Chains A and B, each alone.
Chain A
Amino acid sequence: MAQTTVTAVRPRVPARARGRADGAVKASGRARYTADLELPGMLHARLLLAGRPHARLRSLDVGAARAAAGVRAVLTQVDVPDVRYGMCVRDRTLFVDEVARYEGEIVAAVAADTRAQADAAVGLISAEWDDLPPLLDSEAALAADAVPLHPAWRSYAIDREETRSANDCAHVTLVKGDVDAGFASAFAVVEQSFATDMTHPLAIEPHAVLADWRDGAVTIWTTTQVPFLARAGVALTLGLPESAVRVVVTHLGGGFGGKCDFHLEAHAAALSRAAGRPVRLVLSRAEEFVVPDLTRHPISMTFSTALREDGTIAARRARLVLDSGAYASHGPTASEIATLMAVGPYRIDDLAIEAHTVYTSRTPAGSTRAPTGPQLCWALEQHTDALAARADLDPIAFRLRNLVGDGDTGPTGQRLVRPTARDCLLRAEEVMRAGGGAAPEPGWLEGVGFAVGTWGNVPLPSGASVRMHADGSATLVSGAQDNGSGAAVALPALVADVLGITVERVALVHQDTGATPFDYGSLGSQTTFNAGRAALAAADEVAARLRADAAERLGCAASEVVLQGGRATAGEERIPIADLAAAAQAAGRPLAAEVSPQPPERPAEPGAARSQGRAMYSSFPFPAYYCCAARVAVDPATGRVVVRRVVACHDVGEVLNRPGAEGQIEGGVAHSLGLALSEGAVLDGGRQLTTRLMDYRLQTAADVPPIDVELIAPRTPGDGPRGARGIGEAGVIAAAGAVANAIADATGVQLRQLPMLPHRVWAALRDAEAAS
């Protein structure tokens, strides 16, 4: 339990409350989202979906649809270039190419004068199918004699070394030490299996695209989290130079990873080209569940962990089977992350972890917010509690004995510098134990559970420019995309701080590939980490120019100049920043800087070569740590679980924007509680049954309990701007595991299937009672 006190590195940017720059327009309803946009002469697009999980297209006749009233274009695969695309594996086409592999696969797209005409025309398309046996079970799909879902899989381009087999598009491993030796000398071994259902990112705003093709180039307004990757997708699939494609995003109504990758932009663009008119496509809520290829992976997991007599973990084997659905999407990357999450924030010398990324006949899975994080943390932290019980230690003591500490090495040999996993756990425990809460209802069982974890900050390139105008106001042009989290719209505040002007005087230009430098977009908790660093670097350059110019005018050293309150000040002397800016402009040396700073170098990983199939996440670089504690009440008669209270404790590095950081964590916890208790797609033969919000059940405001967010003092500065770390994903990871452990604390029973629906809790309690 020994913990030394730590002096935090003090932030240069004060962590003060800041309003959301996009708050007023959104709250008042004035914000215009993509589905609100209209252009003169705009057509409405609708899609024909396969509607079956696996079938060969025998014939497709769009003649009647093309001839129908108001119809301006009908497209199928024969109307677009014969090109395969895909984020990790180029395994798919824009429209069904002979075989449909999931129910939401697009067969044809129609553009018509009205949405009703487009709907009617979709109904006139005649598609005849020969149904093929669907692959519904990821384990069965891995069998040597399973029919390959993609007979041509060997010919698909892939972004990493070849570790695949027919239905396994990436076999990813994580190997360290000598796992056989670790098990051979074990005092005890605990083996457990867990499984999770398909869930959805489920932004309230559906996918929407408005494409306007004219004179050989296309402008596409779209609901993407990744404008530059969407642009690349359009260019690839329609055979265009990237310079002919401009992707613009207005306000994005949530993403949660579901708007990563490239989805419907090319369909709308191709329709616009064919029709010679702007075309808008907006998915319905039901389509939103089945069409976009970014569900959260269902995962089957088996952990086998060897313990030493002193209650430390000696070795672990784990086998993870990720159900990728019909296409790979980000699945191979998700498998990399899953293997890291299977180790968790624990010191384990001997590891053999493997993940299969399996093709099945359902809507593809992808990079949903913290891909694989909540599923693995939920399972692993229950497993960790089981290990604690086997070691005869309480869950806190067991974790303190096994969590990584300074100088420990990660699974690929990365040296960890003063990790804060223990700080997060101890703080979460302290806050949870101190809090009171309502007395338990009679007949209900109460329990408290903890889940600890780690997550990476991925260093990626990102560009920004800052230009100061003659009146001392400034414009930030950033590649960043804001998915609704507020991460990008908070960037001008950082720039304003550096330049010594008010945030109202900083304009933001972003979310337009025609105007901004490259950025990977809103994924991987990277916006503050990378785009924030770029914005600050550009602002720093402009500030340096301001200081130098002021020093010359004031006759002092540049280092003596402070930029604050719209003035450059040195001692008693001051000069308005606007004067400096006007003079610079008049002299033909405008105050402007465009930068794309080098990302921080990833830590060395001397053991990385022993693992295979890894391209993006060999490790969690620049790891962040967190712990979630939950108090729950369980009604043993009905299996109903009510979460009473959550404490979410995070090391986000230095805090740049406290309300923003707390909001991300609160939202993440609410999302995680949905994964824990109510969200989960129910499928029948490859078709989702739960494609309405009454059936696919998010947590409501009435369900989410009070959440205490604790931002702990970091022990090392983060490697993001001003010592910050990313926060967009970590908040969603641990609450489901904390709730699971709290249920087990209350009832003595662990849950092996996520979500922990009332009937599953009830059945687990009944089975445990029958067994005892």
Chain B
Amino acid sequence: MSAMAVPRTLAEALAVLAARPEALVVAGGSDVVPALRAGRREQPAAWLLLHELGSLAGIAPQPGGGLRIGAATTVAALERDPRVRPGATALADAAALIGAPATRTVATVGGNLVNGSPAMDLGAPLLALGATVELAAAGGTRRLPLEQFLLGPGRVDLRAGELLVAIELPPAAAPGDAAPRAGSAYVRIGGRAAMEVALAGAAAEVVLAPGGATIAAARVALCAVASTCLRAPAAEALLIGAAPEPAVLDAAARAAVGHTAAIDDHRAPAAYREAVVEVALRRALDTAVERAR
């Protein structure tokens, strides 16, 4: 019989992980349970089940602005939260696209990230929103920018005994602007209206300078076109300081494709992914700018 721990506090959970670092951590189970049932994943010798660990779920404003999102926050909560929708709209866009309502009710943001799929829907929006991840262990806590956490397909920088506990989003404010003009968006390309895995996806956050004539800050991220979700700095460089005009957005979307390293697989050929990720980003930029105005 395998060991099964259902901690009620973070300290308990971290103690379990310290003792059994190989324990399989289960939050919503929407990925791991089907994988276990289908035999794509080995039955673990130890389990750490997070469903009683209430403190790991929830969305809270940060003292200096921005949001702190508990790792066990469900995708459905992200989709509906009144702070996520205006403050981190790209994340709400993505949350609304994941799986079906039944999936979203159990799936968690932490589970989505730790899975490390290059096609995860929450990765690109969180990168575009400048997310950092908080990783706790019995011996202490560390913080990492999300781009450093994502290492490759199915691989994240989670050390033995560590648990992803929260994702933090910085405030999206233009320097010196009392009324921040920030907007973000996520666009996914797929073949179905639901239960879809991204063939390509792109997220953008745009902050307009006071007056709205130029882009003061921008982050751009892509999904399903490389071994991880990734930022596209070449696109960001073209956007920052430029006018939010179609020609600029076109050029930025085109430049982002230079960061891709897509592969052919059973879902789509690489050439298609690289072509449509540009379309996705162009549309995400349009929407982000519109939302910033």
Contacts and interface: CB of A to CB of B under 8 A. Distances in A.
Contacts of B275: 762
Contacts, number: 63
Contacts of A700: 100, 192-195
B191 A697 contact: yes
Contacts of A703: 192-194
Contacts of A640: 189-191
A583 interface: no
B199 interface: yes
Contacts of B195: 694, 697, 700
A32 interface: no
B266 interface: yes
B269 A759 contact: yes
Nearest to A681: B266
Nearest to B273: A759
A309 interface: no
Q: Interface residue tally of chain A, by bracket?
A: 20 to 34
B276 interface: yes
Contacts of A757: 191, 268
B38 A284 contact: yes
A286 B38 contact: yes
Contact of A677 (B39, B191, B197, B276): B191
B199 A702 contact: no
Nearest to A688: B266
Contacts of A192: none
B97 to A, nearest CB: 11
Contacts of A762: 272, 275-276
A1 B39 CA distance: 60
Interface string A533-550: 000000000000000000
A598 interface: no
Contacts of B38: 284-286, 692
Interface in B25-47: 38-39
B253 to A, nearest CB: 11
Contacts of A689: 266
B199 A758 contact: yes
A637 B266 contact: no
A4 B189 CA distance: 49
A163 interface: no
A700 B272 CA distance: 23
A758 B191 contact: yes
B273 to A, nearest CB: 8
Nearest to A119: B39
A699 B276 CA distance: 22
Most-contacted residue by chain B among A642, A684, A758 (CB, 10 A): A758
A393 B191 CA distance: 33
A757 B272 CA distance: 11
B225 to A, nearest CB: 13
A690 interface: yes
A695 interface: yes
A139 B197 CA distance: 33
A252 B273 CA distance: 40
17 contacts: A284-B38, A638-B189, A638-B279, A639-B276, A677-B191, A678-B192, A690-B266, A695-B266, A695-B267, A697-B195, A697-B196, A701-B194, A702-B194, A758-B189, A758-B268, A758-B272, A759-B269
Interface of A: 284-286, 637-640, 642, 677-678, 682, 684, 689-690, 692, 694-695, 697, 699-703, 757-759, 762-763
Given A286-B38, A690-B266, A694-B197, 17 more contacts: A284-B39, A637-B279, A638-B189, A638-B279, A639-B272, A678-B191, A684-B266, A689-B266, A692-B38, A694-B195, A702-B192, A702-B194, A703-B193, A758-B191, A758-B268, A759-B268, A763-B272
